[in-house]
Amino acid sequence: MTIALNVNGKSHDIDADPSTPLLYVLRNELALHGPKFGCGLGQCGACTVHVDGRAMFSCLLPIAAIGDRKITTTEGLLEGGKPNKLQQAFIDEQAAQCGYCISGMVMRAASLLRVNPHPTDAEIHQHMRPNLCRCGTHAAILRAVKRAAA
């Protein structure tokens, strides 16, 4: 069965079981390796992507549920092939230790800055709560979000 998905501005016809989580399609069919498989249970946020601008766990979102909503991954945030302001802020703050959570962190933060370009520290903390970092670079991650919001 073919399902049409709009990913990073391009339409794709996906031939997969409709219960397949979006994450598997992004990584295995479309070779978008930004979103990561962390837990597959909606616990860690490594798989976070945007669906119509809102941050969501792609590991628990079957492609049957997406319809014509637009999907954006961290690759879709690039501007002319270069990191955008938020991604560059993560680089400048050296927010990545192993880096596995960072794509999800960027997407979670981007969904905040889209609706609230200058959040308070408390708003950033609250918003970033769903995403976990096992290396413990949360402090650098929060600095990166603040730098991008400045």
Partner 1 sequence: MRLRSIFIAVVIALVLVVLGGIAWTWRPAIAPISAREASAKDQQLISRGADLAAIGGCGTCHTADAGKLLAGGLPLPTPFGTIFSTNITPDAETGIGTWSEAAFQRSMREGVDREGRHLYPAFPYDHFTRATDDDIRAIYAFLMSQPAIRNVAPNNDLTFPLNFRPVVAGWKILFLDRGPLQPDASKSVEWNRGRYLADGLGHCGACHTPRNGLGAEKKDSIFAGGSAEGWDAPALDATAARKWSADQLTDYLATGWHQSHGAAAGPMADVVNNLRHASAADVRAIAIYVASFSPQSESASPPARENQVPNAPAGTVAIYNGSCAQCHREADAVGPSKALPLSLSSSLRQAAPTNTVQVVLNGIQAYRSAGGPYMPGFDGMLSDQQIAAVVDYARARYTNQPPWAGVQDALTKARQGAAQ
Residues binding partner 1 (CB under 8 A): 17-21, 39-43, 51, 54, 56-57, 59-65, 67, 130
User: Least CB distance from residue 42 to partner 1, whole Å?
Assistant: 3
Residue whose token pair is 């969501």: 56
User: Least CB distance from residue 16 to partner 1, whole Å?
Assistant: 11
| Closer residue to partner 1 in complex, CB, 56/145 | 56
User: Least CB distance from residue 71 to partner 1, whole Å?
Assistant: 12
| Closer residue to partner 1 in complex, CB, 61/148 | 61
